[in-house]
Structure 1
């Protein structure tokens, strides 16, 4: 009897040891993740991103492509509005594209190295590795990490990240605020490492020609529908400027009476439009701010075709429902422009800034030092300027700009968020 009890105890100990050997610790997973990222050549994923920032949840389809060393393509599609925005990085620079409006911005940037994005695998892994207080839980198919959020919004505090146990592919991400309320919920429907892409999948012209299509197809062995574009980096296109001061912004005085005047055109970073700047490396600056009726030069110095009629109809003015403390609306001066309709609102007080709303004339490529900014409501904006900064974004066919010498970027984003889903007055 005593011998049987001893054997049973030994069997239980062995069972416990074997079970323990199959369970990885957080440090084990972190080491594996470092190896995965260091050996990663490419990936492609699709996800549904739900934003709980307004009264009703907003859903966006997100398509993520990466190819070593630094090619990125992020397409975000609002199916309700049938609008796709694309953030693109290739040898020519960083682009924010709105193909349905034939609208593009091009600028110098270290994106995404200088800011985190919830839909990028590298950002998720950095969040896990960088948080020494990380917590790890398990279910049948995934490792679940609870770590600090490291995004551009102070409202985003914590995040849970689900990684598949078999290959560490992301399955889901939930980002929460200080009250533990889920603000961003990203659910991956597909994610694959080692993806082969068409050679022009990261080409600006091809992506602009994609229209409302969310994603140019990756190379699956059937390339008969692929457009005959030259390979990225060998198109003969011009390189980004090495001079970050040539942003097209001629007024950086910070004077609220001057900021934003004459900003009816679409080119990002040309917040004042009072003087045309010589473009770098042979790329012509857009004439849109000057109201010229001639086609603008594209990224390769070629004229854009199919530009819209410059006589644009009026639109309802959208005023922000949020203003920083100590700020009041000063006035709404009329912008005289014969070729486009634009409105401007000026604010003064603790911060001084202007908001300009206008219709884009046609596609314009702006060579500027700047960064794409995730606005937090499914829209990617462009932040340009140094002493005087301009945040530009598109919504429902209208271009919005906030320009200021003293307004923090987080306040700009909060003002912009308060303008979404509003009906014009």
Structure 2
């Protein structure tokens, strides 16, 4: 009987110890930041839904991002590719063999909120953010720069297991979701260089 009691006590102590080892949201966020610091590039598939006055519009694309601010977007319908080399933005229209170059970064600054890479950069410098938990995900919420009332805040869900994102949402000044972006097939630190990122230009 004593042996059974001892076993029960040991199991209880182990259970309590395991519970105590569950990381807090703050500890998870610190680990997330460490992971982000080591990321040099990534690629992922993106499903973006824009909620407007009419029915929602959906876009499928592939994102490639190279630190600190270079990227490529390939839309799956084949109608447009977008490149940013850190100074200029290139809009490529494969169907009509046309390239448009915008030199003023401010013209495309808002769209950087769609990129995971820019979000990862901002969470390392932002002084105002909210960190919460939901099941297996760590949720980070931050204000967006600028005065666009339809893009006031953004939230992103990171897996607690591998710190890969599930989705991002953009929220307007009234608290309504205007954009939802889901990430799949995301890979950190792929064989991506500036040369092969812009080889199509």
The answer for the alignment partner of 2:53 in structure 1 is 54
How far does the alpha carbon of each residue in 1:156-193 deviate from its partner, in whole angstroms, 9 at most, with x for none? 23333111223212111122223332210111122101
Q: Which runs of 5 or more residues in structure 1 are unaligned?
A: 208-425
Aligned counterpart, 1:255 = none
How many Å separate the matches in 2 of 1:197 and 1:93? 19
Residues 220-262 of structure 1 show CA distances to partners (whole Å, capped at 9, x for unaligned) of xxxxxxxxxxxxxxxxxxxxxxxxxxxxxxxxxxxxxxxxxxx
Select the structure that is richer in strand.
Answer: 2
Distance in 1 (CA, whole Å) between partners of 2:131 and 2:69 is 30
Other-structure match for 1:160: 155
Deviation at 1:53, TM superposition (A): 1.3
Q: Distance in 2 between matches of 1:128 and 1:20?
A: 27
Give a deviation string over 1:114-153, Cα, whole Å, max 9, x none.
Answer: 656233223222454425341311323x3223x1331552
Give the corresponding residue for 1:88.
Answer: 83
Distance 1:48 1:89, change over 3 A: same
Higher RCO (CA-CA < 8 Å; seq separation 6+) = 2
Aligned residue in 2 for 1:190: 185
Query: What's the TM-score, normalizing by structure 2?
Result: 0.76
CA distance in 1, matches of 2:98, 2:110: 24
From 139, 142, 148, give the equivalent of 2:142: 148
SS at match of 2:95: helix
Residue 67 of structure 1 corresponds to which residue in structure 2? 66
Q: CA RMSD in A?
A: 3.4
With over 3 angstroms needed to count, the CA separation of the structure-2 counterparts of 1:112 and 1:42, relative to structure 1, is farther
**Cα separation, 1, equivalents of 2:108 and 2:29:** 20
By how many angstroms is 1:74 displaced?
Answer: 1.8
> Pairwise mapping of residues 9-408 of structure 1 onto structure 2 (< 5 A)?
12=12, 14-26=14-26, 28-68=27-67, 70-77=69-76, 79=77, 83-84=79-80, 86-90=81-85, 93-109=88-104, 117-129=112-124, 130-140=126-136, 142-145=137-140, 147-150=141-144, 152=146, 153-197=148-192, 199-203=195-199, 206=200
Distance apart, 1:8 and its partner CA = 6.3
Give the greater-gyration-radius structure (CA).
1
Could you list the runs of 5+ residues in structure 2 that have no partner in the other structure? Answer: none
Over 3 Å counting, the alpha-carbon distance change for 1:180 and 1:103 in structure 2 is same
Measure, in 2, the Cα distance between the counterparts of 1:128 and 1:76.
27
Q: 1:111 to 1:178 in 2, by over 3 A?
A: closer
